[in-house]
Amino acid sequence: MTASSAAPAGEDERAQAPGHPPDVVAAVFHATSGEPHVALLVAARGADGDPVIRWSNPGACELLGLAASDLDGAPLSEIVLPPDGVRIDHLFRRERPTTSAVNVRTAVGEEVSCRMRTAPSPDGDLWTLQIQPAQSDLELVLRASAEAHEQRFKVLAERSPVPTMMSEQGMRLGHVNDALCALVGVTADRLLGTGWLNHIHRDDLERVTETAIAVLAGQEREMEARFVDTQQRVRHTDVRFTPLHTPGIGDGFVATLEDITERRAFEAQLSYQANHDSLTGLPRRNKLWDHIATVMEDPDAGLACMFLDLDNFKVVNDSLGHKAGDALLVEVARRLSGSVRPGDLVARFGGDEFVIACGTRSVEAALEVADRVLRVLSEPFVLDGVEVHPRGSIGVVLRRPDHQSPDDLIRDCDIAMYQAKSRGKGRVMVLDESARGAVYDTLTLVSDLRQAIEERRITLCYQPIMRFDEDGRRLASVEALARWQHPDRGAIAADVFVRLAEEHGLVRDLGLVVLDQACAAMARWQDELGPLAPPRMNVNLSALQMSDYQLVQAVKGTLRRHGLDPHHLCLEITESALMNDPDTASTILAQLRDHGVQVAIDDFGTGYSSLAYLRRLPVNYLKVDQSFVAELQDGHTAVARAVISLARNLGIDVVAEGVETHAQMEILDILGCPLRQGYGISTPLDDAGFVDWCRTGHPLATVGSR
Amino acid sequence: MTALALDIDTVLDGLDRMASQRPVAARIVATSNSDRTSAVGLANALGADVALAAKVMKLANSAYFGLSGKVTSLQFAVTVVGFNSVRSIATIALANLDDERLLPQGFGELSLHLAAAAGSLGPRFGTRTADGMALGLLAPLGMALLHQTDRHGYDQLVAATELGSQRFAAESIRYGICSPQLSGEALNQWHFPADMVDALRAVASGPEGALLRTSYELTARLVEPHHKKRALERLSDQRITETEASARLTAIRTDVRELRSALGL
C-alpha cells in the first residue's frame, strides 16, 4: 500500500463515524486522500507526547517535497512551525478542531506560510491535519493586484492636491491626505480619529455632524464648512461627502474639500462694497434696512432711529469744492461712528444724510446719543485751511407697534428731522405726533394728486385778457388756470397743489396735462366760435419746467397734435422762476419764441430781474403784478408806471393783472397800459361759461368804483 | 515560578459553558461572524439583549466616535461602531469580563488602554480603528482565563512581571501559552476573523502581532509608572517612532476617557 492510498494502521475502525456505514466512510476517504491539491496528514501523539506523522496523502507529499515513506513516523515539529510562543501540542485538541497560521518547512528548507486545520478523531488519539498555503497562486495574484490598486489609490489620494479624508466607520477618520494636512496646518495624526472635528469652526460643527449622519445613512451630500487652522485662520471649504460602505464592517465616508476661502473673501469684498459707502465706509441704505428689519423680527426688541442731516453742507460744497465736501463727510462719518454705543449702527443714507439705529427702548437714552452726536459733530474741523463747525439736525423716533417695516421707521425719523430743521437747525427733535399727522395728510394728498393727474381730473378755467383802446375793447387772450376738485376735500387751491407737484416731482406731468387741455380747448373754440374765439391762450409754466430741455419738444408736439399755430399759445413764467437759472431759461424761451410761441413774464415786479437779462430775454409781455395794480387808486402809481415805461422802451407789451375797479381802469388808461386782466373784466370761467361770454360780446363784470 | 499543566481544552470548555448561559450574546457573536450579516440583521440580534444594545448605543454616541447624542437607532449604531466592536462587546458579556469579582486587578483599565491604543495606532498598521479597538479590548481575555484557572499563582505572576514581553514569557513558562495567545485560541473557537486570531497568536513575534505588541508597550507606559521602556521602532516593525510617542500617549489618554465612559468598564 502506498502512502497515497493507504490508511494508517487501524484507521478503518477508528475513522468510522457513528451511524456511517464503512463503505460510505471508505468512499469519502478515497476521494479526499487522493486529492492532489489538498495536503492531508494524520498525526498521533508519540511516546514523548509530541505529535508524530502517521500518514500523508499525495497533496502533502507535493507540498512538502517529501515522499510518504519519509514522512511516516517523522515528528510533526520538524515540519510544522507554530507561531512564536505557541507550543505545537496546543494545536491538538481532544474535542475540537483548531485552525492556526503556521509555517511549513519543505524538503529544501523553505518555510511556506500556511493555515492548518487540526481535527481530532472521535476517540481523540489521532488528528487529521489539513494544510493549505495561506494563499493560493490565484489568491496571491488577486492580492497583489488588490495591493497594487490600493497603492495606486493611496498615491492618488495622498498626492492629490484636493484635500481628502476618509472615515471607515462613523465620524472617525482612518485616512487623510497631505493636502488636507496642509489646509489645516497639522500632521495627519492630529486629524485622524475624531481629531478633525477639533478643526471645524464651532458654528459649523453641528451641521457637519448632521450632514455626516445623512451620509453614513447612504446619502451623498455637499456642504460648505469652515475649518480653522493652527493659526486660528478660517478656511472656507466646499465639502463633498460620499458614503463608503464596507460589507461586514460598517459605514463610513469619503470627503473631498475645495478650499474656497479666496472666493469667499472676494464675495465678501463685493458684498461689502455693495453694502457700504465707498467714501465713508459706512453701511449703505440696504444694510441699514437689513439691520432694522432683523431687529424688528423680535417684537420686543427696543429700537430708536435717528435721521441726521448736515446743516449748510451745500455751502461747504459750493464754496470749498466737492473734494472738501467729501472730506467733511468722511470726518462726520468718523465722528458719528465714534459717538454711538457698541451695537448701534451708523449708515450713510445719501448725500449729507446719515441714519443711526440704536438698540434702546428709552427715549432718554436715544436723546443722550443724539446730544452726544451733535456735540462731537460741532467740534471745529479745518478744511483747506478754513475752520468749519459742522452742524446737523437730528430727528429721533422710537420704534412703536405701528411701525411695520424699516420704511415706516425711517420715514418717521425723516419727518422728525424736518421738524428739527424747520425749528431752527442744529437741534434734536423727537417725532411730534401732530406734525406726523400733517405729513401723513400731505403724503395722502400727493398720492391723490398723482392719481388726479394720471386720470386727467385736473380741470381748467379761463380768465380773459382784454385790450382797451380808442377803438373799444377786444379779447386779446385768455389765461388757462388749473383747478383741482378733490373728491373728499373739495377745491384745492392752485398754489397748494402746484407746490405739492413741484415738491414731489409731479410738476412736469401736471404742466403737460394743463398744456394739453388748454390747447384742446383752444382748438375746439376756434371751431365753435370762429372769429369770436380768443386769438391766444396763455398757459403758466412752473419754475421747474424751465430747466426741462424736453419742454420745447413737448410744446411743439402738443401744438401739432391739436393743429394750432404756435402764435396761438403764450407761455407765462414767473419773474422769480426766470431768474433761478436765467441762462437755461433764456435758451428754452428763445427756442419757443423761434417756433412762434409767445412768452410772458408773470408777476413782474415781485422778483429781482436783472435789467440786462430782461433786455436779452425773448419776451413778448410783462404782466404787472396785481399788488402794484391794487395800489394804483391809492395814488401809488410809481412802480406800475416804471414797469409800463420800461416795457414800452424795450418794445414789450404790458398786461395789468388783478384789475378790479373803474378807478384802476382809468389810471391804466392814463399810464398807457391797454392790456388788462382781472375780476373787473371777468372772473375765471369754466369752458361753457367762457364760450357763452365770447358769444355775448365779452360783457364786462359789474365792478365797483374803487 | 513553576510550570503548571494548563489544559487549554478545559479552559475553553469553561468558556463554552459561560457562553451557553448568555445565548443572546452568543447569537450576536455568531451573527457578526457571518459574512452575510447586514447591519439590519446584527441590530435585530442585538435588540434581543437590552443591556448589550444599550452598551452599543452608548458607545456609538460617545465622543470616541464623534457623534455624541446623534445616534438614535440601533442599526445606525451598529454601522457607527462596526461589527467588530459589537462582537467584542458581546464577547465581553459572554466571558463575564464585565464582572470585576472574577477578574484580575486592573483588568478593566488594561482592556480600555489596549483598546484605545490599538484603535489609535490601527490605521498605521493597516487595521481599521474600530477593528484595532476590538482587538485591544479582547486581548486580555486570556489573562482573565488564566486568572480564573490559577488565581493565586497568576496574581503572583502579575505582581512579579512587567506588562508586555516579560509577562508573556513568564506566562508561557508557567502555562505553556501567554495570555494574548490564549485569547486568540478562545476567539478562534468562537470563529472570530482569522486576522484577529493571528494578531493575538503573533503577539510575541511576527508582523501580524506588531500592532498588539506596540499597543501593550504604550499601555504599559501609561498604566505602570516604573515600566522599563522598549523601543517602539522595533516593536512596531518601524511603523511607530519614539519621537511621536508623546503625542500618541496623549491621544490614547483622551480615547481612554471617552471609552471608559462609553463602555462602562
User: Which residue ranges make up each domain of chain B?
Assistant: 8-263
Nearest chain B residue (CA) to A244: B79
- Residue A164's DSSP bridge partners are A256
Instruction: State residue A8 phi and psi, 5-degree precision.
Output: -60, 160
Residues of B in contact with A247 (CB under 8 A): 35
Alpha helix stretches (DSSP H) within B34-164: 39-46, 50-60, 74-81, 83-94, 107-121, 129-138, 141-149, 151-160
Q: Which amino acid, A481?
A: L
| Binary contact (B201, A174; C-beta < 8 A) | no
Shortest CA distance from B249: residue in chain A:
A189
Contact A80, A122 (CB under 8 A): no
Integer Cα distance of A87 and B181 in angstroms: 11
Grid cell at residue A184: 489645516
DSSP class of residue A699?
A: P
Select the residue of B65, B194, B205 nearest A170 (Cβ to Cβ): B65
Task: Compute the distance between CA of residue B181 and CA of residue B6 in angstroms, rounded to an integer.
Answer: 13
Fold of B8-263: Hypothetical protein af1432 (1.10.3210)
**Residues of B whose CB is below 8 A from A83:** 181, 198, 201-202, 204-206
**A98: which chain B residues are within 8 Å (Cβ-Cβ)?**
185, 188-189
Give kind and range of the element (H or E) at residue A509.
helix A507-529
Least confident of A357-366, B8-17, B245-254: B8-17
**Closest of A172, A254, A215, A216 to residue B85, by C-alpha:** A172
State ipTM.
0.74
> Could you give the 3-state DSSP secondary structure of residue A297?
coil
Instruction: Of A431, A279, A410, give the one whose Cα is nearest residue A355.
Output: A410
Q: Which of A83, A169, A248 sits opposite B37 (nearest CB)?
A: A248
Q: Could you tell me the three cell numbers for A699?
A: 360783457
Q: What is the pLDDT of residue B160?
A: 93
What is the tens place of the pLDDT at every residue in B229-240? 999 999 999 999
Distance from CA of A90 to the nearest CA of B (A): 7
- A102, closest residue in chain B (CA to CA): B198
Least confident of A127-136, B28-37, B84-93: B28-37
A-B contacts (CB, under 8 Å): 138
Q: Is A459 left (phi over 0), alpha (psi -120 to 50) or beta?
A: beta
For residue A685, what is the DSSP state? B
Q: What pLDDT was estimated at residue A609?
A: 59
For chain A, helix, strand, coil in percent to 5 are 45, 25, 30
Residues 203 to 222 of A: which have CB under 8 A from any B CB? Answer: 209-210, 212-213, 216-217
- State phi, psi for A146 to the nearest 5 degrees: -65, -40
> What integer pLDDT is reported at residue A182 of this predicted model?
93
Cell numbers that stand for A479 in this block:
389765461
Question: What cell does A187 get?
Answer: 500632521
DSSP of B179-201, one letter per residue? Answer: HHHHHHHHHHHTT--HHHHHHHH
Q: Do A174 and B248 touch (CB under 8 A)?
A: no
CB A516 within 8 A of CB A558: yes
Residue A207: Cβ-neighbour burial (10 angstroms; 0-12, 13-18, 19+): middle
**Per-residue confidence (pLDDT) for residue A613, from 0 to 100:** 67
Nearest to B172 among A85, A193, A216 (CB): A85
Q: Is the pLDDT of residue B260 over 70?
A: yes
Going across the sheet that includes A304-311, the strands are: A345-350, A353-358, A304-311, A391-398, A428-430
Burial of A340 (0-12, 13-18, 19+ CB in 10 A): middle
Of A88, A39, A42, residue with least CA distance to A64? A39
Residue A251 near chain B (CB below 8 Å): yes
Q: Is A193 on the interface with B (CB under 8 A)?
A: yes
Contact criterion met (CB < 8 Å) for A174 and B204? no
Q: Are A354 and A282 in contact (CB under 8 A)?
A: yes
- Which residue of chain A has the CA closest to B173? A85
Query: Under a CB-based contact definition with an 8 Å cutoff, are residues A308 and A357 in contact?
Result: no
Judge whether A65 and A8 are in contact, CB under 8 Å: no
Average of pLDDT values for B8-29? 82
> Where residue B16 falls among pLDDT bands split at 50, 70, 90?
confident
Average pLDDT over residues B59-63: 85
pLDDT at A85: 67
Q: Mind spelling out the 3-state secondary structure of A171-213?
A: CEEEEECHHHHHHHCCCHHHCCECHHHHHECCCCHHHHHHHHH
Q: Does A248 touch chain B (CB under 8 A)?
A: yes
C-alpha separations of A120 from A9, A44, A526, A633 in Å: 16, 10, 134, 148
Beta-carbon contacts of residue A400 (< 8 Å; ≥ 6 apart) = none
Question: Do A590 and A618 touch, CB atoms closer than 8 A?
Answer: yes
Burial A557-588, CB ≥16 within 10 A → b, else e: ebbeebebebebbbbbbbbebbbeebeebbeb
> How big is chain A by its Cα radius of gyration, in Å?
53
Torsion region of A246: left, alpha or beta (phi above 0 gives left; psi -120 to 50 gives alpha): beta
The three three-digit cell numbers of residue B95, written as one number: 466571558
pLDDT score at B110: 94
A538: β partners: A479, A570
Half-sphere exposure of A567 (CA within 13 A, CB side): 2
Q: Output the pLDDT for position A248.
A: 66
In this structure, the number of other CB atoms found within 10 A of the CB of residue A699 comes to 10
Which portions of chain A are predicted below pLDDT 70? 1-19, 85, 136, 248, 605-613, 702-706
Length of chain B: 265
Give the C-alpha separation, A4 to A35, whole Å: 9
Contacts of A100 in chain B (CB under 8 A): 188, 201
Give the whole-angstrom CA distance, residue A308 versus residue A306. 6
Quick check: B185 and A99 CB within 8 A? Answer: no
User: What's the rounded Cα separation, in Å, for the pair A467 and A453?
Assistant: 34
Rounded distance between C-alpha atoms, residue A198 and residue A191, angstroms = 8
Instruction: Find which of A98, A132, A172, A249 to mutate to test the B interface (most B CBs within 10 Å of its CB).
Output: A172
Q: Which of A115, A174, A250 sits opposite B123 (nearest CB)?
A: A174
Bridge partners of residue A310, in order along the sequence: A392
Angle of helix B129-138 versus helix B83-94 axis, rounded to 10:
10
At residue A485, what is the residue type? Q
* β A234-246/A221-228 pair status: antiparallel
Separation of CA B220 from chain center: 15
| pLDDT for res A2 | 35
Q: Which of A168, A194, A249 sits opposite B63 (nearest CB)?
A: A194
* CB nearest A197 (choices: B66, B70, B208): B66
Interface contact flag, B82 A192, Cβ < 8 Å: no
* Residue contact B65–A197, C-beta within 8 A: no
Which cell is A210 given? Answer: 448632521
What's the gap in Å between the CA of A22 and the closest CA on chain B? Answer: 30
Provide, as residue numbers in chain A, all residues whose Cβ is less than 8 Å from the Cβ of B123: 174-175, 192
Cβ of A189 within 8 Å of Cβ of B205? The answer is: no
Please answer yes or no on whether B181 and A95 come within 8 Å at the CB atom: no
Nearest Cβ partner of B201 from A86, A192, A250? Answer: A86
The alpha carbon of residue B82 is apart from the nearest alpha carbon of chain A, in Å, by 5
pLDDT at B156 over 50: yes
Strand partners, A226: A236
What gap in Å lies between CA A452 and CA A477, rounded to an integer?
A: 28
